[in-house]
Amino acid sequence: MRSFTSAIIFITGLFLTAHAVYADPLMTPLADKKPAVNFKLQDMDGKIHQLSDYKGQPVIINFWATWCPPCREELPSMNRGWAKIKSDGIAMIAINVGEDEDTVFTFTGDYPIDFTVLLDKSGDVINQWPIKGLPTTFVLDPQGRIVYRAIGGRQWDADELLNRVRALK
Amino acid sequence: MKIKYFSLLIGLLFIQISYAEISKTVLPESGLIEWKLVDNNFELKLVQRLPDQTRSFFEGRGFSKTITRNIANSCVFQTIGRNNSKDKNQTIQVSLKTWFIKINQQRQPIKLKETWDKQWSDEQVKPASRIAFRWATFPTEQSFEPRGDYNWGMISFGPRPGSVFDLYVEWKNNEQKKSAWIKNITCPVNRYQ
């Protein structure tokens, strides 16, 4: 009887452990770590940025649009997150999809963004990335490989999440 | 006897109980109706969009009045899908190609974003408008990973404003096929007509 009870405890333990190991509701780690596709995009001042410019540091890349409700919800938390990490050697980039400077400029009056905003007016860049909906955010390691993905909005000022990005350094 | 109980216990651990809970709520702020389906880790919300809401959204993105009227009168719902699981194996997959509606005893597919897109010429719809349409509508096929993935977007079910239909919803949870019917969904009607 003792061995039967032990077996029940062992199996129940295994079952509970399997459901408790992945208790992080923040980002999806990507096992294949594919290299991110390089891009060349203008910022709000017309300056050209290439993804390859950011090699050697972790990069958070967020795809968004002004009319997307969850994007509007998460952007303030990204701005707060940026204030926490900007001196840690981590880059943060928001790529607006399909809109022009005037639209984004007006939007940032209500939703200030202190980190780099790039404009993918033609949608050519988003089409090359593995994205199904907005917002989608990727975290790249210093080698330029995609290591995390988050589909839908997150609280980007959460230390638990930012520490995972810091750990990539 | 012990072996019997042991086998029973093992069996119970692997049973996936499939029971979708469906609820209907009138949203207090807008008065619009939301239908919500919850099945274990999968959560789906369908929220009515008034035709005027949809029309003004697409007119604001450069679509012509004729096209926006067609979209707006096609029973558009804001749709939010979410995977609430924390278990890495519990990926949720949704393909709108498997969904259909039943109205007046007739089965009809959903009008997918690709179908809309194909019917417009480049003269009718500018590239910027096409981009807005593509990203504002719910993906035809989507995987929701655990740890909080969610997505949202408009789905046009097709019937005219005021119509009532049943919706067949299908999804996969960890490759296991699941389905449910959401009954008596009402296509929104403008308030001042």
Residue A7: which of B6, B138, B147 has the nearest Cβ? B6
- Interface ipTM > 0.85: no
pLDDT of B2 reads 56
Chain A positions contacting chain B at CB under 8 Å are 1, 4, 7-8, 11, 15, 18-19, 21-28, 65, 67-70, 97-99, 121-123, 126, 132-134, 149-154
Is A98 in contact with A120 (CB distance < 8 Å)? Answer: yes
- A152: nearest Cα among A31, A25, A39, A23: A25
Which residue in A147, A145, A150 sits closest to A133, CA to CA? A150
Asked if A86 and A153 touch (Cβ cutoff 8 Å), the reply is no
pLDDT, residue B89, reads 83
Q: What is the C-alpha to C-alpha distance for residues A167 and A4, in angstroms, rounded to an integer?
A: 44
Residue partners of B37: CB distance under 8 A and separation at least 6: B20, B21, B22, B43, B44, B45, B169, B180, B182
Span A105-140, pLDDT tens digits? 999 999 999 999 999 999 999 999 999 899 999 999
A144 and A52 Cβ atoms separated by less than 8 Å: yes
The domain that holds A64 is classified in CATH as 3.40.30.10
Range of the structural domain that residue A83 is part of: 26-166
Which residues on neighbouring strands pair with residue A50, listed in sequence order?
A: A40
Q: Which residues of chain B have pLDDT under 70?
A: 1-18, 192-193
Contacts of B138 in chain A (CB under 8 A): 133
Q: B177 forms bridges with which residues in the sheet?
A: B172
Cβ-defined contact of A65 to B145 (cutoff 8 Å)? no
Interface test with B, best of A11, A21, A28 (most B CBs within 10 A): A28
How far B97 CA sits from the closest chain A CA (Å)? 15
Please determine, looking at this structure, whether the domain spanning B25-186 carries the CATH number 2.60.40. Answer: yes
Place of tokens 């009809």: B108
Pick B144's closest partner by Cβ from A11, A121, A151.
A151
Q: Which of A65, A122, A154 is facing B135, going by the closest CB pair?
A: A65
Q: Decide: A154 and A161 in contact? Cβ < 8 Å.
A: yes
**Nearest-CA distance B164 → chain A (Å):** 27
Could you tell me the pTM of the whole model?
0.83
Q: Note whether residue A1 is domain-resident.
A: no
Measured between alpha carbons, how far is A36 from A58 in angstroms, rounded to an integer? 12
Q: Looking at chain B, which residue has its C-alpha nearest residue A135?
A: B151
Contact: B86, A70; criterion CB under 8 Å: no
H/E element, B179:
strand B176-186
Starting at the edge strand found earlier in the chain, the sheet holding A48-50 runs A28-29, A146-151, A136-140, A59-64, A91-97, A116-120, A40-43, A48-50
Q: Do B142 and A150 touch (CB under 8 A)?
A: no
- pLDDT for B3: 55
Identify whether the C-beta of residue B152 lies closer than 8 Å to the C-beta of residue A70. Answer: yes
Q: Which pLDDT value is given to residue B148?
A: 85
Residue A83 lies in a domain: yes
Q: Please name the helix (run of DSSP H) or strand (run of DSSP E) that holds residue A66, with its range, or none.
A: none
Kindly list the averaged pLDDT for each block of 10 residues, start to end, along chain A of length 169. 48 36 65 96 97 97 95 96 97 96 95 97 95 95 97 94 96
Q: Is residue A95 part of a domain?
A: yes
Residue ranges covered by each domain of chain B: 25-186
User: In DSSP terms, which residues pair with B149 in a beta bridge?
Assistant: none
Q: Which bin fits A95, alpha (ψ -120 to 50), beta or left (φ > 0)?
A: beta
A85 within domain boundaries: yes
Tell me how far CA of residue A30 lies from CA of A12, A149, B35, in angstroms: 29, 7, 33
CB of A79 closer than 8 Å to CB of A110: no
| Structural domain total, chain A | 1
